[in-house]
Structure 1
Amino acid sequence: MQTVFDAAGGADGMLRLAAAWHDRVMADEVVAHAFSHGFRTDHTERLAAYWGEALGGPATYSEQYGTESSVVRLHSGHGQHEDMDRRAIACFDEALADAGLSGDERLRRALHDYFAWATTTPMAEYHRSADDVPDGLSIPHWSWNGLEPEG
């Protein structure tokens, strides 16, 4: 069966989606605050690689950029921010259309469900301190059936 990554257009589809999401986020007054400290010039490429790996693509993020622990640390220690999370998810849903990925309802739903889960679960779990994030976390994998068991 085709992975969500493949159905979304592979690496090119992930890059289009990451760029569209980044554009939407930077235009949102609430979510853009998360980037007020600045961001890496290769943020879009790194994000596309991360999403690609999580959605059944190659392990590009793990091999070239970092670990799940490092990603979760970046998103940790900022307190709870449910409104920002809701707006980030809304930006993602709009970015799906911008990237041409909203026409297939099954694909749109899988991508939405993944992003909503990732935003509100692993990326929000350590809201008190990034120091609470354990080493050795693995990038969660998401399929058509949702979160895949580790191992």
Structure 2
Amino acid sequence: METLYHQLGGFDVIFALTRRWHELCLLDPEASHPFEHGMHPYHDERLAAYLAEAFGGPKLYSAGYGDESSMQRIHSGNGDHLELDEACVTQFERAVREVGISGEAADRVCAYFRRATEGQRVWSAQDAEVPHALPFNYA
């Protein structure tokens, strides 16, 4: 069975998606907020590695950046921000269309991103302690 990673066209398409999503977020007054205080210099590459792994591709994120727990920690403790989450999901869905992902693959990618975004709310409290060794969040 072909993975979602392969249906999308591999890493280059996923990397183009993360770059376009970031560009769109910077243009959106709500979605730009997390990026206003600086960010990891390889944010787009790191996100592409994470999504590549989540979509059934090579384990690039686990091999070079961290595990699910470390990724959740990056996003934890920032409080509830439903409007921000929705703005980011909206821009992600737009980026999916703009990089040419369509059909069932687009639906699956967008549904995954929404679920993952909503799932991070578990760790939104300022004193949230993300457990070690969380299982990877595959699509």
Normalising by the residue count of structure 1, what TM-score does the alignment of the two structures yield?
0.88
Aligned residues: 139
Structure 2 unmatched runs, 5+: none
Task: Write the distance in 2 (CA, Å) between the matches of 1:32 and 1:65.
Answer: 23
Q: How does 1:11-50 map to 2 (within 5 A)?
A: 11-50=11-50
**Gap change, CA 1:81 and 1:16, over 3 Å in 2:** same
Task: Say if 1:73 and 1:133, in contact at 8 Å, map to a contact too.
Answer: yes
Residue aligning to 1:147:
none
Task: Write the distance in 1 (CA, Å) between the matches of 2:79 and 2:105.
Answer: 32
Residue aligning to 2:79:
79
Q: Does 2:124 align with 1:127?
A: yes
Structure 1 unmatched runs, 5+: 143-151
Residue aligning to 1:60:
60
Structure 1 residue 130, shift from structure 2 partner: 5.9
Runs of 4+ in 1 over 4 A off after TM superposition: none
| Alignment RMSD | 1.1
Task: Write the distance in 1 (CA, Å) between the matches of 2:95 and 2:110.
Answer: 10
Task: Write the distance in 2 (CA, Å) between the matches of 1:86 and 1:74.
Answer: 19
Q: Does 2:133 align with 1:139?
A: no
Structure 1 residue 131, shift from structure 2 partner: 4.4
**Which of the residues 116, 119, 132 maps onto 1:118?**
116
Which digits, 9 at most, give the CA deviation of each residue in 1:113-135, with x for residues without a partner? 000000001x2211103641111
Task: Write the distance in 2 (CA, Å) between the matches of 1:131 and 1:86.
Answer: 22
